[in-house]
Chains A and B, each alone.
Chain A
């Protein structure tokens, strides 16, 4: 079982996040990540940027399933309405 808080720490250690929220059942996780670094990047590049921060965990199998929503601060504001 993996604590979602730990995943938040891994990601924010490798990527400046304005907001990060990871939720999960211990095996499958869902993350909402807001970062200025995403501006101008395609969806694929944004996720690659996040994956980079947890690559060793994904490759070791420690982290198996991480679903990602990647937003810039502006997109996040709009999403919140």
Chain B
């Protein structure tokens, strides 16, 4: 059966298809426009694409099942900022950073995380949006800091596969926040994370943590993996506590992480040298994989560039399919690699893309 993937780039959305002989280009959408997030609703196949137009702001488009024409729908927007507010942030969406749909559907919610750090929910397939004020109004939100951008942002939204009222979000830089009641109330949940680059009193401040990306295992919803600014963490208790993993070679710095949907012990990362030097270690581009829950890691280079490589992978540019077999990893260089054997080996996809921001395997 043919599989589809969506590659969001600096200059358009590229729809790929794999009919059993590798990925090829099917259609280019929004050519020339920056794509900041994509999600495919697994319940009905609707595709949502967020644009970050350089001049005209964030926009959201929806492609309904069976159609070939996109429809512009409402974009998440903050309410009017109170005139007496002392919040230094502009209450204006700069960018949709992540889109996610409820796994239980149809009729589930669509979620968006933005820069600045707003969480938004739509219950009508993007036709209207509501700011999740229970998180936005938390006093701790005022202490969030920029990470990757000048303003803080929400980049990860993990919805429990069978209990959609349980939601975990990751904030750069604002730690991990969990709700057990459908976003009615929230608690900070980054215990165990560490930011050793901050002064000592702040290093263990849960609200100051910079998780670059968090993903949850579909088959074991208590397991989360986090690529953090300061290394790699895992949670085995639904995000209540986090255990850091040490001694990872070639590096524990990076942005992206993916977890096997059926095996919580299998996860993939794309290491970079360090915060100060965001390129592959020794110019050798690898995908790092653990298959034993993080006890050991194996850097895989088979099929990846053998020549010196300076590719960097952004936090949303690594994805795994629903079977845990096919992966795609895309780089800021515009190069894309595919694996069809759970990351044991890779092949280049023979298209030179614009800089890749996000990858989704449908």
A-B interaction: no
